[in-house]
Amino acid sequence: MNITLPEAPSLPVVDEQGAAAGSFPVGRIFCVGRNYGDHAREMGHDPDLEPPFFFSKFASSLSLGPDHALPAFSEDVHHEVELVLALGSRLENATEAEALGAVVAAGVALDLTARDRQAEAKAAGRPWLVAKGFDGAAPCGVLKAGGVPPLSARIALTVNGNLRQEGALDQMLWPPGPLLAKLSALFVLQPGDLIFTGTPAGVGPLRAGDRIEGRIDGLPPLLGVIV
């Protein structure tokens, strides 16, 4: 057999000054659920009782925009604006310091979620694969080279100019160091892994034509249109 794998999708990277600084090839996408207390509460959970839990998307879920397509099988796709971390080295049972040292870039992304399909999956005790892993389920902005941004940074999403989500990275229940350390005890993490770190409160539906603007202080914004 002679089969050629599709080329790995890659995200553009800029340096501190905003100049092009190569690209980051994406291997896998890991996500953490309910990592901000106010979002856990809006989804009906007590954040104090929960250790971190993880799910995944595919590299093929990435959407580089500027158009981000909704899936045909859902009537209720929600935005979740998130800090994403890009790993440049291998992590296995890492300490928090080792984990933070492996982060080579960061950016702003949406963890798009087909909430109707997710609710069905939850009720049936089934995986979230379709709800979270569909093609285009991970709109992602340009990455900025460097480590984890300061946790005092504000994270926000506007839709058509209206503020929908707002918080600060220091509201994470599991901040990047402990989060990546925990994840590296479950999976051997690899260069090319992208980690979605959870969303603050205010999630809600997107419609075709919506203009999205995701921002985290100090990082390139995620700008685009939902189609």
User: Which residues are near Mn ion by CB under 5 A?
Assistant: 80, 111, 199
Least distance from Mn ion to the Cβ atom of residue 3, Å: 33
Q: Which is nearer to Mn ion, 80 or 213 (CB)?
A: 80
Which among 31, 214, 2 is positioned nearest to 132, based on CA atoms?
31
Q: Which is nearer to Mn ion, 21 or 156 (CB)?
A: 156
- Contact between 46 and 76 (Cβ < 8 Å): no
Q: Which is nearer to Mn ion, 111 or 193 (CB)?
A: 111
Least distance from Mn ion to the Cβ atom of residue 59, Å: 17
What contacts 181, CB < 8 A, 6 or more positions away? 94, 95, 96, 98, 99
- Contact between 157 and 202 (Cβ < 8 Å): yes
Least distance from Mn ion to the Cβ atom of residue 74, Å: 16
For 102, 183, 185, the CA distances from 96, given in Å and listed in that order, are: 10, 11, 11
Q: Which is nearer to Mn ion, 56 or 190 (CB)?
A: 56
- Contact between 64 and 85 (Cβ < 8 Å): no
Q: Which is nearer to Mn ion, 111 or 210 (CB)?
A: 111
**Alpha helices (runs of H) in 67-200, residue ranges in sequence order:** 96-101, 115-124, 129-133, 176-186
**CA angle (220, 65, 224) in 5-degree steps:** 65
Which among 107, 5, 20 is positioned nearest to 64, based on CA atoms?
107
CB-closest chain residue to Mn ion: 111
Least distance from Mn ion to the Cβ atom of residue 148, Å: 18
Least distance from Mn ion to the Cβ atom of residue 84, Å: 11
- Contact between 159 and 212 (Cβ < 8 Å): yes
Q: Which is nearer to Mn ion, 21 or 40 (CB)?
A: 40
Indicate the helix (H) or strand (E) that contains 216.
Answer: strand 211-216
Least distance from Mn ion to the Cβ atom of residue 35, Å: 8
